[in-house]
Amino acid sequence: MYKSSFTEKDVPKYPYRNVPTKYKKVIGKSGGLWLVPNTGNSDSIYHSGEDKTGFCGSTLEFPLIDGTVAKIVGPWHSNSDGLFNDTGIDLRENSWTFGCISFTREYDVQNLSGIMTSIMHLDKEWTKGSFDRITDMAKKLALENKRDYYYYSASSGGASSGMIEWRAEAMKEMMTMFKEIQPCVSDSDLFKKFSALIKKYEHYC
């Protein structure tokens, strides 16, 4: 353990906010336009499709790697999963995040903020990886140790926090396994019993 407690005030300043970024225009399979950053930072991906209401329909300017500027009406800030699925360009491990995982969480009434206590994991600095790095780590710990954990995960666009319930995660894992074996055993009595069990507890997911 690194320290006894953690609050949002302990998050170090995001170090890459002012890094100059230029973009490459890529047309995806969907016909939409992707603006891919030359830095490879997946926090700076934008998409323009049929819906032109992103940023309230404003026109944003994107400096391109060829020296020109693309003026795009109503683009949306997007993510690496969407980019990969539509273009095959893989930046899914290029998100910068900072996070904490703890056994318990208290509430600071005076500062209207959460205090994470009994720290299990605390990043020493902003770390490059998948956008869901911290929640994935918390889920893994929850399943391994059969106990609930609290998490806090910050990115360049904001932060999220919550609790990972190990029973719910175990049920989700079982559901995934169920879907994988379904084509093989759909006619067996075992499958029917397993299916009934899944339906009984699916509200945990």
For residue 205, pLDDT beyond 90? no
168 vs 35, higher pLDDT: 35
pLDDT per residue over 80-106, tens digit each? 999 999 999 999 999 999 999 999 998
pLDDT per residue over 3-39, tens digit each? 688 998 899 999 887 778 999 999 999 999 999 999 8
- Tell me the pTM: 0.77
3-state per-residue secondary structure call for the chain: CCCCEECHHHCCCCCCCCCCCCEEEEECCCCCEEEEECCCCHHHCEEECCCCCHHHHCEEEEEECCCCEEEEECCEECCHHHHHHHHCCCCCCCEEEEEEEEEEEEEECCCCEEEEEEEEEECCCCEEECCCHHHHHHHHHHHHHCCCEEEEEEECCEEEEEEECHHHHHHHHHHHHHHHHHHHHCCCHHHHHHHHHHHHHHHHC
High-pLDDT (> 70) share of the chain, %: 83
